[in-house]
Amino acid sequence: MYQVEASKALLKPRLWARGASRLKVPRNVVMLGMVSLLTDVSSEMVATVLPMYLVFTLGASPLVFGAIDGTYRGAAAVVQVLSGFSSDRWRRHKEVAGLGYGLSAIGKVALVAAGNTIGGIGAIVAVDRVGKGIRTAPRDALISLSSAKDRLATSFGVHRAMDSVGAMLGPLIAFGILFAAPARFDAVFVVSTLFALLGLAVLFLNVEGKPRRAPRTGTPPRFRAALGLVKDRSFAPLLLAAGGLSLASVSDALIYVGLQRTIDFEPAVFPLLYVMTAVAFMALAIPAGQLADRIGKVPVLLGGHALLLVAYAVLLMTSVGYILLIVCLLALGGYFAATEGVITALAGAVLPESLQASGIGILITVVSLGRLVSSVAFGALWLELGLHEAVTIFAAGLLVAMAIAAPLLLRAQRTPAHG
Amino acid sequence: MDRRSGKILLVLAAVCLVVGGGYVAIAALGPSETTTDARPQATEVLSRTHVMVRAVDPKKPTLNGRVFVVDRGQVRQLPGDIACERVYYAGGEGLCLGVAPSGVDYEATTFDSRMQPQDKITLTGLPSRARVSEDGRYGAMTVFVSGDSYLQSPTAFSTRTTIVEMATGKQIAQLERFDVSKDGKPFDAVDFNFWGVTFAKDPNTFYATLGTGGEHYLVEGNVRDHSMRVLRTGVECPSLSPDNRQIAYKSRIGDSERWRLRVLDVATLKDHPVAEDRSIDDQVEWLDDDTLAYSDGTNVYTVPADGSGEAELLVRDATSPVRLNAGQELPGFAR
């Protein structure tokens, strides 16, 4: 039955296109959303069953795998900046993104063919991570270059919403297959491969590589110009603000662990926390983008971080019931909806056309480094002072970061950058 | 999208649907099992051994295995449908962790002395350890869960350990919610993980492993008070001897995923190695106050607890050894 649902998802472009025309979202953005949706179905299918597969088929302790995975996360950050710049330099955003999507698809094929050793799986996960690192910046640049400047946030909202639909469908399809054919992980991998290949096909057949805002003339940008963005008078304040905010943001995974310590709920409820946050994100991403295009991206970004403060506040309460739990998860989903795509949209509006992918690559790297530092700092504070004190410090830090970010973001928005 | 590429895409989608759907359909029609009918084989190393084991198919070690009793060199399958990846039994109550019949998720089943299933509990992760207190009052189970790790890696793992009231099948406590103290002061960190519970004769007292910040602490806990205190470091998967005076455990070699079996004295916390010189990843069982039993994943071995002698094969094609005490009646098995 999940096969049928999956096939419906595939036939959806027309439906999406109709909805998109009401939202006035360029077709290219919807097609990029479709690519992400299909690719996310593919990778989430694998991510969902990989732990079971490892233990079931290989008899490996899953703890081994945690170590394998952590190793490649740093590499992805470096790849992002390089892939962003090269796609600007060659003016081939679509092809560079295609390389990233292609690597992930190859990883899925490799799983079918050779996913029966720990080392093999480690290598496949590494290839998948690198692929994700390569594709993100050029893909976001394509979304930006396909959209009018006053519709950027809506475009990113639509893309992120479609992306998360894929992330929700993936586990459902994987479980559906395993339900029909217990322990047949090969069937999951085969279907996952097909989704990855379809995603690639949509990219090459239906995505326009030179959208309307894409630069066609002039000399290609130099690497120095891309690096110069970090001291550009409008992009630098944006980087600073985004970096500061990410330093004060506790990752959702840590918030779930905090909730688990604060609330007595059945262990079986735990996976639902992710689902509820994802549903809220999916539902709110488009409205948040539209709002940002109407009233301004800066207030929506700051409002999103205020929602994160709500989630912190729930963690600080001594007794938390199910209603407050739901409030916390909705706030968390709203925070992602109001920040994830909106910050990239702001970058897209500020960056010169010739350096879109470079700038977005730098932004993503800064934000992910900020989150890494914040995770480690939060863990250390929790150990030294306790959960409540750590959350209190982060809440205070977030308020300060918001106060500093507000004028910086407004300044970034006022003065467009020059490559 | 222009008409031609739209058509190509539609054809591709149809091909994918046929190939993917066909593959899944064939897989669904083919034989797909979650339980193996493999049988263990006993050696005659210890003629006085009475032990419950779970059978393992060496080619498919993670399929649920049937439960057997090894009685003085005789192997007998226990009746009923109980099949697991991990099993424990004490005080007339059994705990069996394994793949659910759907093959999609995992479940725990409690069973009684007639091998009849009593309650089922859905597990939130992959089965790791199972124990029941000597009087059959409490059970403890550890599972691996993914998704809530320190650096938000979806494939990294943490553990979750739950205490179950065996009579009702209710989960009465999660170790993650217990208050922990170290050197008399409260102790808490984001990366707390608990695993490998072993119960004392008073079932409210237990020992377990706390993993945090790269260290593996031996903790002593109290079920009723929801509290734990750190005793020492370097101890994983503790197992109390029947007289409660010694703890057998696995001791990690450096930061590796390799372990040596050691035994420590509860009163002094001093420890010594045993004669098994391979790496063992198991929660050891005591056959009596002087003898250990454990599995390397495919066979059950035994070794003296005092460090003397050598490791010997006890049961081939079996894991999860469980000591069966005098007076424990099981169908087809009376001591």
b/e burial code for range A174-207 (CB count within 10 A of at least 16 → b): bbbbbebbbbbbbbbbbbbbbbbbbbbbbbebbb
What is the enclosing helix (H) or strand (E) of B196? Answer: strand B193-199
Please check whether residue B26 is in contact with residue B41, taking contact to mean a CB–CB distance below 8 angstroms: no
Please check whether residue B305 is in contact with residue B291, taking contact to mean a CB–CB distance below 8 angstroms: yes
**Enclosing domain of residue A389:** 223-414
Residue B308 Ramachandran class (φ > 0 left, ψ -120 to 50 alpha, else beta): beta
Q: Domain check: are A176 and A254 in the same one?
A: no
Tell me if chain B has a CB within 8 Å of the CB of A50: yes
pLDDT of B41 strictly over 90: no
Give the Cα separation of B146 and B129 in Å (integer).
16
Give the gap in angstroms from C-alpha B53 to the nearest C-alpha of chain A: 18
Nearest to A268 among B8, B27, B122 (CB): B122
pLDDT of B124 strictly over 90: no
Which candidate, A168, A37, A44, A158, places its Cα nearest to that of A108? A44
pLDDT averaged over every residue in chain B: 88
**Listed range (A241-245, A250-254, A289-293) with the worst mean pLDDT:** A250-254
pLDDT of B318 strictly over 70: yes
Give the pLDDT of residue B329. 65
Q: Above pLDDT 70, what percent of chain A?
A: 87
Which candidate, B237, B246, B244, places its Cα nearest to that of B320? B237
What is the enclosing helix (H) or strand (E) of B62? Answer: none
Output the six-digit token pair for A398: 């977030």
Give the pLDDT of residue A140. 97
Final residue of a structural domain among A161, A179, A206 = A206
Inter-chain contact B1–A181, Cβ cutoff 8 Å?
no
pLDDT of B159 strictly over 50: yes
Give the Cα separation of B82 and B113 in Å (integer).
12
Please check whether residue A264 is in contact with residue B177, taking contact to mean a CB–CB distance below 8 angstroms: yes
Give the Cα separation of A2 and B266 in Å (integer).
55
CATH for A31: 1.20.1250.20
Give the pLDDT of residue A419. 44
Tens digit of pLDDT for each residue in A373-410? Answer: 898 899 889 888 999 999 999 999 999 999 999 999 99
Give the gap in angstroms from C-alpha B163 to the nearest C-alpha of chain A: 12
Q: Domain check: are A173 and A247 in the same one?
A: no
What is the enclosing helix (H) or strand (E) of A61? Answer: none
Tens digit of pLDDT for each residue in B55-77? Answer: 998 877 778 899 999 887 788 89
Taking contacts as CB-CB distances below 8 angstroms, the residues of chain A near B36 are: none
Tens digit of pLDDT for each residue in A74-127? Answer: 667 778 899 999 999 999 999 999 999 999 999 998 888 876 777 778 788 788
Inter-chain contact A61–B281, Cβ cutoff 8 Å?
yes
Final residue of a structural domain among A171, A206, A241 = A206
Taking contacts as CB-CB distances below 8 angstroms, the residues of chain A near B33 are: 182-183
b/e burial code for range A134-171 (CB count within 10 A of at least 16 → b): bbbbbbbbbbbbbbeeebbbbbbbbbbbbbbbbbbbbb
Output the six-digit token pair for A300: 């929506």
Give the pLDDT of residue A10. 46
Q: Domain check: are A241 and A304 in the same one?
A: yes
Is A10 a domain residue? no
- In terms of CA atoms, which chain B residue is nearest residue A49? B104
Q: Would you tell me which residues 284-323 of chain A have a C-beta closer than 8 angstroms to some C-beta of chain B?
A: none
Please check whether residue B67 is in contact with residue B82, taking contact to mean a CB–CB distance below 8 angstroms: yes
Is A4 a domain residue? no
pLDDT of B47 strictly over 80: no
Is A72 a domain residue? yes
Give the pLDDT of residue A35. 97
Give the pLDDT of residue B332. 58
Tens digit of pLDDT for each residue in A115-161? Answer: 677 777 878 878 888 899 999 999 999 999 999 999 999 999 999 99
Query: Environment class of residue B80 by beta-carbon count within 10 Å: exposed (0-12), middle (13-18) or buried (19+)?
Result: middle
Taking contacts as CB-CB distances below 8 angstroms, the residues of chain B near A382 are: 188-190
- List beta partners, residue A70: none
Please give the residue that has the higher pLDDT: either A6 or A152: A152
How far from A103 is each of A34, A163, A205, A210, B57, CA to CA, in Å? Answer: 18, 18, 18, 22, 37
**Mean pLDDT, residues B154-165:** 76
Residues 6+ apart with CB under 8 A from A168: A275, A278, A279, A282
Output the six-digit token pair for A302: 């700051």
Please give the residue that has the higher pLDDT: either A33 or B325: A33
Q: Domain check: are A182 and A228 in the same one?
A: no
**pLDDT band of B263, cuts 50, 70, 90:** very high
Give the gap in angstroms from C-alpha A111 to the nearest C-alpha of chain B: 16
Output the six-digit token pair for B260: 């040596």
- In terms of CA atoms, which chain A residue is nearest residue B8? A205
Q: Domain check: are A109 and A255 in the same one?
A: no
Taking contacts as CB-CB distances below 8 angstroms, the residues of chain A near B16 are: 10, 194-195, 197-198
Q: In the block, which residue shows the tokens 């029609």?
A: B29
Q: What is the per-residue DSSP string for A42-60?
A: HHHHHHHHHHHHHHHHH--
pLDDT of B174 strictly over 70: yes
Q: Domain check: are A270 and A336 in the same one?
A: yes
**Mean pLDDT, residues A171-176:** 90
pLDDT averaged over every residue in chain A: 87
Domain ranges for chain B = 1-32, 35-323
pLDDT of B262 strictly over 70: yes
Q: How many CB atoms lie within 10 A of CB A323?
A: 8
3-state SS assignment for residue B210: strand
Q: Domain check: are A148 and A234 in the same one?
A: no
Inter-chain contact B257–A271, Cβ cutoff 8 Å?
no
| Amino acid in position A108 | K
Side-by-side strand order, sheet with B126-132: B126-132, B138-146, B157-165, B170-174
Rounded to 10°, the helix A27-58/A152-180 angle is 30
Is A211 a domain residue? no
Interface test with A, best of B85, B97, B106, B148 (most A CBs within 10 A): B148
Q: How many CB pairs under 8 A join A and B?
A: 183
- Per the structure, the count of domains in chain A is 2
Q: Above pLDDT 90, what percent of chain B?
A: 62
Give the pLDDT of residue A84. 94
Taking contacts as CB-CB distances below 8 angstroms, the residues of chain A near B156 are: 65-66, 69-70
Give the gap in angstroms from C-alpha B15 to the nearest C-alpha of chain A: 9
| Amino acid in position B65 | G
Taking contacts as CB-CB distances below 8 angstroms, the residues of chain B near A50 are: 155
Give the Cα separation of B333 and A170 in Å (integer).
48
Give the gap in angstroms from C-alpha B143 to the nearest C-alpha of chain A: 11
3-state SS assignment for residue B286: strand
Is A378 a domain residue? yes
Residues 6+ apart with CB under 8 A from A312: A250, A391, A394, A395, A398
Tell me if chain B has a CB within 8 Å of the CB of A274: yes
Phi first, then psi: give them for residue A153, nearest 5 degrees: -65, -40
Output the six-digit token pair for B263: 């035994």
pLDDT of A3 strictly over 50: no
pLDDT of A6 strictly over 60: no
Query: Environment class of residue B116 by beta-carbon count within 10 Å: exposed (0-12), middle (13-18) or buried (19+)?
Result: middle
Taking contacts as CB-CB distances below 8 angstroms, the residues of chain B near A45 are: none
Inter-chain contact A382–B188, Cβ cutoff 8 Å?
yes
Interface test with A, best of B11, B19, B24 (most A CBs within 10 A): B24
Tens digit of pLDDT for each residue in B197-234? Answer: 999 999 999 999 999 888 999 999 999 999 999 999 99
Phi first, then psi: give them for residue B208, nearest 5 degrees: -160, 175
Is A126 a domain residue? yes
- List beta partners, residue B53: B68
Q: Domain check: are A227 and A178 in the same one?
A: no
CATH topology of domain B35-323: Neuraminidase (2.120.10)
Inter-chain contact A256–B148, Cβ cutoff 8 Å?
yes
Inter-chain contact A66–B20, Cβ cutoff 8 Å?
no
Give the pLDDT of residue B61. 73
Q: Domain check: are A151 and A88 in the same one?
A: yes
Q: Domain check: are A36 and A62 in the same one?
A: yes
Tens digit of pLDDT for each residue in A201-240? Answer: 999 999 999 998 888 877 889 888 998 999 999 899 999 9
Inter-chain contact B104–A3, Cβ cutoff 8 Å?
no
